[in-house]
Amino acid sequence: MSILDNRRLLKSEIDKVAEVAGYLWEKGWAERNGGNITINVTEWVDDGIRALPSIAGPFEIGFTLPHIEGCWFYCKGTGKRMRDLARDPMGNGSIIRILPGGARYEIVADSPVVPTSELPSHLAVHNYLLGKGSPYRASLHTHPIELVALTHSRKWMERDVATRMLWSMIPETKAFCPRGLGMVPYMMPSSNELAEATIRTLDEDYDVVMWEKHGVFAVDTDVMSAFDQVDVLNKSAQIYIAARSMGFDPEGMSPAQMAELSSAFGLPK
Ligand code: 2HA
Ligand code: ZN
């Protein structure tokens, strides 16, 4: 691929981050500096970018991550707002490269914006994804109101109880979030423990993981697809709440309707 194609594709991935950041703000999922996005952009990095000098660092990641050694990421900046990133992704995020050894990174472009506080979780997840040969290149963390509200109840934190309810609210949800919603009990934000629990849950074959009383962490091929999975799940939570606030328990699609949908779309049971 030519350098111009690479640059165009790299720009288009960063433009998608800006577009999604705008949606997160509009949905009320990104108060203050809430949420973060990290994209593995290695495949679009050309020799010109590779030759760029470091502008800050090296910094320790806090983990040793062998599969992302030499990889490049676009990361939202720490303390930066999604609503600002939507207008100016390179002023509110930066491109980093992981140094040989996979334990440190340096900031390369455009300015020394230090990456998100959740960087260890994001990079550990990218390391896990590359290690298993996944085509997923995007990770998204956000605070969707109704999904976070669900995690304040023990009932919904039980394995796949929320998944089954959310899938049954509207056929699209299982079709477009076919692995459902994994649950991670409350842990300190930004901790290595939370990063490890997130990876364990993704490895149980979820693309979207709930952090109890905090937010979601979603992975997919690109940031738009990761956003779509969270969006369909949260839409289902809103339908559930709308029914409850009309004074009844929603019926949900029946097991026979779910089974018919799963076989029509080739979805897991
Ligand atoms: O980056 O949402 O969990 C802000 C957060 C941390
Ligand atoms: Zn958060």
User: 183-197, pLDDT tens digit by residue?
Assistant: 999 999 999 999 999
Mutate to test the pocket of ligand 1, among 24, 25, 33, 114 (most ligand atoms within 8 A of CB): 33
Give yes or no for residue 3 having a pLDDT over 80: no
Peptide bond into 120 cis (omega under 30): no
Report the percentage of the chain scoring pLDDT > 90. 95
Q: How far is the CA of 33 from the centre of ligand 1 (A)?
A: 7
Give yes or no for residue 59 having a pLDDT over 70: yes
Express each pLDDT in 66-91 by its tens digit.
Answer: 999 999 999 999 999 999 999 999 99
Question: What is the dihedral sign for C-alpha 122, 128, 130, 135?
Answer: negative
189 lines ligand 1 (CB under 6 A): yes
What the block records as the tokens of 89 is 């992704």
Burial class (CB in 10 A: 0-12, 13-18, 19+), 207: buried
Q: What is the set of active-site residues?
A: 118
Express each pLDDT in 92-115 by its tens digit.
Answer: 999 999 999 999 999 999 999 999
Quickly count: other Cβ atoms within 10 Å of residue 165's Cβ. 19
142 lines ligand 1 (CB under 6 A): no
Give yes or no for residue 218 having a pLDDT over 80: yes
Q: How far is the CA of 81 from the centre of ligand 1 (A)?
A: 10
Q: Quick one: pLDDT at residue 1?
A: 66
Give yes or no for residue 34 having a pLDDT over 90: yes
Q: Quick one: pLDDT at residue 197?
A: 97
Report the percentage of the chain scoring pLDDT > 70. 100
Burial class (CB in 10 A: 0-12, 13-18, 19+), 183: buried
Average pLDDT, the chain: 96
Q: How far is the CA of 154 from the centre of ligand 1 (A)?
A: 23
Ligand 1 atom nearest to CA at 143: 2
| CA nearest neighbour of 172 among 221, 236, 220, 225 | 236
What the block records as the tokens of 44 is 């679009």
Q: Cα separation of 74 and 233, whole Å?
A: 26
Express each pLDDT in 127-164 by its tens digit.
Answer: 999 999 999 999 999 999 999 999 999 999 999 999 99
Mean pLDDT within 16-25: 98
Q: Cα separation of 106 and 59, whole Å?
A: 6
Is the CB of residue 206 less than 8 Å from the CB of residue 217?
A: no
Mean pLDDT within 195-208: 97
Q: Cα separation of 216 and 39, whole Å?
A: 16
Q: How far is the CA of 36 from the centre of ligand 1 (A)?
A: 6
DSSP state of 40: E
Instruction: State which amino acid sits at residue 103.
Output: A
Q: Cα separation of 233 and 82, whole Å?
A: 21
Q: Quick one: pLDDT at residue 246?
A: 98
Hey, whose CA ends up nearest to atom 4 of ligand 1?
34
Mean pLDDT within 245-258: 98
36 lines ligand 1 (CB under 6 A): yes
